[in-house]
Amino acid sequence: MSDLRVQPGPAPERVRLTVPGDKSISHRALILGALAEGTTTICGLLQGEDVLHTAEALRRMGVEIVIESGGEGPMVTVTGVGRQGLHSPGCPLYLGNSGTGMRLLMGVIAGQDFTATLTGDESLERRPMGRVAEPLMQMGAFVECRGPQATPPVTVHGGGLRGIHYQSPVASAQVKSAILLAGINAAGETVVAEPARSRDHTERMLQAGGAQVEVEGLTVRLQGEPTLRGQEITVPGDFSSAAFFLVAGCLLPGTAVMVDNVLLNPTRTGLLEALRHMGADLKLTDVTHSAGEPVGTITATRAPLRAAEVGGKLIPAMIDEVPLLALAATQAQGETVIREAAELRVKESDRLTTTATALSALGGEVEATEDGLVITGPTPLHAAEIDSHTDHRIAMMAAIAALLAAGETVIHGAEYIATSFPGFGERLRELGAEVT
């Protein structure tokens, strides 16, 4: 296990940076490129471990994927095999720490005429897969998981699928996307309805690739057995990665932080709305569109923050950023309540508990509830030793908190940061921190 040591230093008045490509879009670009006819080119693919595990799994099922270095980031070429052109890998597919990779590939394999087993590291093999397995079995696949919590390894016996109308009990892009990816090879129409809006990258990319997809409110309809075509995809900067430095800009005195080329898909930017409700100074500029996705520059500058209540439909649009909102709330005046975020208990860690534990160790007043967090502020933060609990987002949130804490903060299990944000330490140094 490796440590990340962070000690704050004088930050410059203005910091302008970029972040790696969006993880959600990177996974989907590889998968849909593999199922397409012809060639898909991807510029700016995230080179994090999670995405690279997805690429290797697709290679083992017969897809040619070439990754080359380029002046503006990696250039990836995916030679598609068609929607039913994958072949049995002949061995278990290892997905490391990637819950997204595993759940999306469960949907892909469900539509193929073979059986495959998916495994992961110790952390991933504690995460429940039943929410994906259940609708896939309703479509005609047979899915075997381990134990009453339906944890990996997962074996999917694919083929012979039929479209279903599925009312998802949770707003989850991973569940929805797995069903839609299976629906590509299902007879008839596949329909997914959610209780709230979740990120919609799969729908956008399917439409761009030639599939007949209709979105009406919280319901998505996919006509089965389309012929997908290769695409040219430019992956914008990951909003979830940018969020760490935007929160730093909101909290560090005398420093404006600008992050360029950030994904601004409204199903992802709930944190901006929540922070603005708390009084944060956040500005959007240079907004354009790339491959059907809005992108732009976000500038964050410190302003007095006030407590807020956050829940409901806003949570799915900021589910990965809740730990960061909790950090911001430690510096806000009053009691902030985050509710209806129980989904965080089945992430890489139980993120409600690990967020509360980490921020409390750093001096915050944070309590985990059954479905959220209660944070009382403002409180000064101090250096501490933090366990990431194998969770990349907890490790990075603690590193941003360390910028506000006197002394050296030590974060154990920092190697998990590489799953989503290679180069994170270098970006911290741009904010004046001493990082080892």
By annotation, the residues acting in catalysis are 320
Spatial neighbors of 148 by CB under 8 A, at least 6 apart, are none
Spatial neighbors of 36 by CB under 8 A, at least 6 apart, are 78, 80, 82, 209, 228, 229, 230, 231
DSSP for 18-52 reads --PBPHHHHHHHHHHHHHSBSEEEEES---SHHHH
Q: State the maximum Cα–Cα separation within the chain, in Å, rounded to a whole number.
A: 61
CA distance 366 to 419: 27
CA distance 251 to 273: 16
Report yes or no: 41 and 65 within 8 Å, Cβ to Cβ: no
Q: For residue 175, give both structure tokens.
A: 């569940």
Q: Tokens 């495959």 — which residue?
A: 116
Q: For residue 158, give both structure tokens.
A: 């694919």
CA distance 218 to 267: 12
| Beta strands, E only, 231-324 | 232-234, 256-263, 281-290, 293-301, 309-310
Report yes or no: 50 and 23 within 8 Å, Cβ to Cβ: yes
Report yes or no: 31 and 181 within 8 Å, Cβ to Cβ: yes
